[in-house]
Amino acid sequence: MTYLIQTTIYTGVFWLLYRLVLRDRPMHQFNRLYLLVAFLLPFILPFVMLPDRVVRPAVRSAVGIRIPEITIAPATGGMPVRTLLSPVLWSYGIVCFFLLCRLAYQLYSFYRLLSQYPREDHRFFSIVRGTGIGPASRYRFILLPGETADARIIRHEAAHVRRMHSLDLDLCSLLLVAGWYNPFLYLLRRELRVVHEYQADLEAGYGDSDYGELLVRQSFGLCTLPIVHSFFHHPLKRRIMMLQKKKDPRSVLLAGSCTALLSALFISAAVMVQSCGQKEWVLSPEEKTAAKADTVVNFGDVKFTEIKDRAEQMPSFPGGNEALTGFLQKHLSYPAAAQAKGIQGRVIVQFFVDEAGALRDISVLKSPDRSLSEAAIDVVSKMPRWEPGRDAAGKPVAVKFVLPVSFRL
């Protein structure tokens, strides 16, 4: 659900930026590229995260001796059955399947129509006359409703063919199968169709004062298909006005630069928010002060940071690190509530091993969900007494530890 909300918000921002800065500007190739990126990027952006070392570079060195990370997965090896069978997921899947079937039927209907009429092949396109459809085009095929057509109409549809506009629409159609819930995708597709028409109009009617009259004359009594480029495409007024606009290089450069800058800032902000979206590691003032005097020491194959007292003999779990790993894997299980919600992530648990080997002040520094925090704290609280750490004189000392636990579905 979070992913669906993210894609909708991101698409809305890209559409709003296009609406405010680029819409109806005579920079059609740039606008076409922007709209395609705005259509595709929101599906990818939610997965882009900064590494922890970039987001929080100073925290890990300030929280104590780091135990090797433990990864916990559900016993079934995947999401629970009740999640897969949830009504929301089923409803989403049914709509996607229906839209995919509809798209397949539209393609079938188009190519079945082509098979019923002879083709007139040219170098870059083929004309199919007398179809009762169009004027329209799809890939290399130009459909005409009758046997004859104005040469400007042919040039217009040929421009769609040369520029591969049908490929854009097919990409949008496939993404709409997965993103049918997102209203901004439909707005972006509509604007992309208009840009396609701007480009084709410019090639077919540039400098022709009668071309606008041709558009109006052809707007009545047309029959078309949803997956083709129709010669008459709303909004007619915008297309006619665009023919009269002159390209100002300075205005184009300013609009393009502004759009690129704002888009880059938005993408950077979105990635940063996603990367920092989980609970932050919270350090007390004392920990921050102690962190300034951190000393890195090797403990077997593990690097750790001592915050306060340096122990000549480090605390150890009964049986050593392998026994500790076995204990955690045996007693720590994936919470069912988190599995049902599809929640995963890393939980960072901090605790002290006191002078008697008991674990004290067990707390969570970072966690994506309360149920995962409770599971991690519960398993740490069940640990047996450790062998306490000792200083150079053999006196027991308290040492702070950090245990990272990754829950992965």
Q: So what's the pLDDT on residue 67?
A: 64
Q: Are strands 141-143 and 136-138 parallel, antiparallel or unpaired?
A: antiparallel
- pTM listed for this prediction: 0.62
CA distances from 51 to 263, 271, 272 (A): 22, 11, 10
Higher pLDDT, 101 or 219: 101
Q: How confident is the model over 325-341, as a mean pLDDT?
A: 84
Q: How confident is the model over 60-72, as a mean pLDDT?
A: 56
Tokens of 107: 């393609």
Q: Packing angle between helix 183-205 and helix 165-178, nearest 10 degrees?
A: 170
pLDDT at 133 over 70: yes
CB atoms within 10 A of CB 240: 16
Query: pLDDT tens, 141-193?
Result: 999 888 888 888 888 899 999 999 999 999 999 999 999 999 999 999 999 99
- Report domain extents, the chain: 2-56+87-273, 285-407
Q: What is the CATH number of domain 285-407?
A: 3.30.2420.10
User: Is residue 355 classed exposed, middle or buried when 0-12, 13-18 and 19+ CB atoms within 10 A define those classes?
Assistant: middle
Q: What distance in Å separates the CA atoms of residue 184 and residue 43, rounded to the nearest whole number?
A: 13
pLDDT at 277 over 90: no
Q: What distance in Å separates the CA atoms of residue 107 and residue 95, rounded to the nearest whole number?
A: 18
Q: How confident is the model over 266-277, as a mean pLDDT?
A: 82
Q: Whose CA is closest to 83, among 336, 341, 337?
A: 341
